[in-house]
Amino acid sequence: MGLKTLISFFLTLLLFSCSSLPDSEPVNVEIVDTDSLSLIPFPQQVDKNGNIFKVSSETVLNFHDDTKNEGNYLLNHLNKQLSTPLKVNVWEGQAPSTSIYLDIQDSLFQDFKEEGYQINISKRELRIHAQTNVGIMRGIQTLLQLFIPEFHSEKRDVWYLPGLDIIDYPQFQHRGLLLDVCRHFFDKDVVKKYIDALAYYKMNVLHLHLTEDQGWRMPIDKYPLLNDISSWRLDTNGNEYGGYYTKEDLKEIVAYASERHITVIPEIELPGHSQAALAAYPQFSCNGGPIDVVNEWGVFKEIYCAGNDSTFLFLEDILSEVLEIFPSTYIHIGGDEAPKFRWEHCTKCQKRMRDEGLADEHALQSYFIQRIEQFLNEKGRQLIGWDEILEGGLSDNATVQSWRGMEGGKKAAEMNHQVIMSPTSHCYLDYPLSSIDLEKIYSFDPIPADIQSGKEDYIIGGECNMWTERVSDEDNLDSKVFPRIMGLAEVLWTYPEKRDFENLYHRVRAHQPALTARGINYGFETTGAFIVVETNNEVNIQLKTALPDVIVKYRWLGDQDGFKVYSKSFQLDRTDTLILQAFRDGKTYGDSILQDFAYHKGIGAAVEYHTELNPWYPGNGNQHLFDGVRGSANFRDGNWQGFSGDDLILSIDLGKLKSISAADFQFYHYPNAWIFMPKEISFEWSVDQQNWSQTRINQKMMELNPETRIVKAHMELDDQNKVEAQYLKVVIKNYGKVPAGHDAEGEDAWLFVDEIVLY
């Protein structure tokens, strides 16, 4: 707290002590500074009224029977932090010194709708008004955030609240978190902890991902092998891993969420991501098995057979039991990453296509989804699917969750379908902070700028997605979700026109005590430090931080000197690894950042791409392959350029004649993500663009290997002498189609390239 704020704070307290509080009231009242309220999401309207409200054992909490759930919820939270419990008076008896009222009113602001609320805090009364119980609960969460941080970890006789008038309501109706409990299993207490946290930040959906290739997490009475077999896998050490919820567990989770006005939406994946289920019941696959529950991450070719009517009876039986437990209007059926290889080679599926007049396997997937949707609609439910369900034709009433960027969601909205936005660019919490941090999430706008006018209303909200391939323990889960999800909570509730990240950052940091008290391991807001590279004829390196209270230190790995405090930009003059470390309050902030650089003769070259850049992995645009920056083991770090199914073809102008003896290339190889090393590299050089010389590296020098790794290729241009060249042509041939034997056989392969280093 700065000097100006301290002076203002104590003057305010003095004013209150003279005019607003009884003579016996202490002067050093601790309240939240109203000039810097740490509310998340921040309300639509907040006005100070100059009062202080006292909460003590003399305070009476008043609520009707119709707000009994919300009243008891608030009572329990306040009593945990009071030395003596509150009194409860259901609108009867003598007026106490201070009273809290939970009040449902039919006629409030039109914008309130279901979740809006109003809070009025005066000297003697604190009132939460809303049109619904949901609104009352949302107001209670704001009230709990108004207490000082110590409220969440201490008991006291008296707590004080600032006098405020708040009007608040959400901008988007769907504000959720996807929690994957399949890749790694988390028990019901962890799920309940997350429900409490979602409620605290006015999120209203827990999207529970219950089935996957790696595990099936809910019991189906009619098919017990889904738990006996599908819920378990053998890990890399040969140990059995897994688990599942009982139906009683799931009913308890749903009831717990309902008390907090959170909807639990189950996801039952189909037709793909179904290998665990097919391991137990291979008769519903295309080849009849045998099939194992998967212990790897990726996309696998096993898929429900679309040509077998018994498959649909199997899924309808499962969904019938799902509907008995989950009352949500929406049921998520996945629909993503469904390889068509099995269908292409299945006589039953091919017959189904002929009988139904379906043009291709994408249309067959649409047929599959529409048949499941019809079943759900007949049961009074609605279907949500990932944006792949657009392929082959979208079913009539489906809601689309757009994850492969915004385009699928935009297309669905313009077709008058409801849309949930959760693109990998902003909403994937399994991605590292270097890819998606709190600031990036807070910058997210779920409404595409170029959407057709009037269609934006079909975008009903968004979700953060927490996939757990590489998250196996609760602390790691927490640190990935928090505090990043708090940025999306404000985006979806308040939808601020202007995003002040520094303001959000200070509010988020103030919430750490509350999260710690809830048993949540608070993670980092960002990497703390990051590198900005500008390339012309030289590589200019800047070290930056998004945080106002962090300093950055750095050193080169090859130097003997220790870390230096960064003060100004510098030019790259070596091939080396730059190490960064951020510091906050004298302590290291986040992990050290290591970035490999290559100083070489091609830096700053003018490059013309004859291959269109992929919008998901554009890297540094046309300068990417000659900017001196090397990619890391994380292919999403922004330092790799990715091309799906396309060869990379380049024309390069070095600006003047240069002597070149060799070239180095790096490629990413990750078969489970469909990323393969190239088949061939062709390299040509010329002095005048008329006469060209050529060399190449072919497949034999880079044999196919299933191991995930960075593949290096070295090319000598001339065995005897350096060559003189200004102009280069490079063709890097994509592997083409995912090879035979792979679970995505026949799909377009990805090519990932980071830097072409010239010697």
Tens of pLDDT along 177-199?
999 999 999 999 999 999 999 99
Domain ranges, ordered by start, for the chain: 3-168, 210-396, 527-596, 598-758
Helix (H) and strand (E) counts in the chain? 17, 35
What pLDDT, on the 0 to 100 scale, is given for residue 4?
40
Q: Quickly count: other Cβ atoms within 10 Å of residue 411's Cβ.
A: 18
What pLDDT, on the 0 to 100 scale, is given for residue 8?
41
Q: Which two tokens stand for residue 486?
A: 């708090």
If you search the block for the tokens 């194992």, which residue do you land on?
292
* Architecture of domain 598-758 in this structure: Sandwich (2.60)
Across the chain, what does the average pLDDT equal?
Answer: 92
Distance CA 592, CA 579 (A): 7
Q: What is the DSSP string of 561-579?
A: S--EE--S-EE--SSEEEE
Q: How confident is the model at residue 10 (pLDDT cuts 50, 70, 90)?
A: very low
pLDDT at 91 over 70: no
pLDDT at 326 over 60: yes
Q: Which of 29-38, 403-412, 678-687 has the lowest mean pLDDT?
A: 29-38
Q: How confident is the model at residue 120 (pLDDT cuts 50, 70, 90)?
A: very high
Q: How confident is the model at residue 497 (pLDDT cuts 50, 70, 90)?
A: very high
Q: Which two tokens stand for residue 66?
A: 């119709």
Mean pLDDT across 451-472: 97
List the CATH code of the domain at 3-168: 3.30.379.10
pLDDT at 58 over 80: yes
What pLDDT, on the 0 to 100 scale, is given for residue 745?
83
Q: Where are the beta strands (DSSP E) in 2-132?
A: 45-56, 60-62, 87-88, 99-104, 117-121, 125-130
CA-to-CA dists, residue 287 to 281, 300, 646, angstroms: 12, 14, 32
Q: How confident is the model at residue 94 (pLDDT cuts 50, 70, 90)?
A: low
What pLDDT, on the 0 to 100 scale, is given for residue 111?
61
pLDDT at 693 over 80: yes
Question: For the chain, how many residues are written?
Answer: 759
Distance CA 334, CA 584 (A): 42
Mean pLDDT across 453-482: 97
Distance CA 740, CA 434 (A): 35
Kindly report the CATH class assigned to 210-396.
Answer: alpha beta
Mean pLDDT across 640-654: 97
Topology annotation, domain 527-596: Immunoglobulin-like (2.60.40)
- The pLDDT tens digits of the residues spanning 235-281 come to 988 999 999 999 999 999 999 999 999 999 999 999 999 999 999 99
Q: What is the DSSP string of 730-750?
A: EEEE---BPPTTSTTTTSBPE
- Going by C-alpha positions, the residue among 281, 280, 372, 377 that lies closest to residue 333 is 372
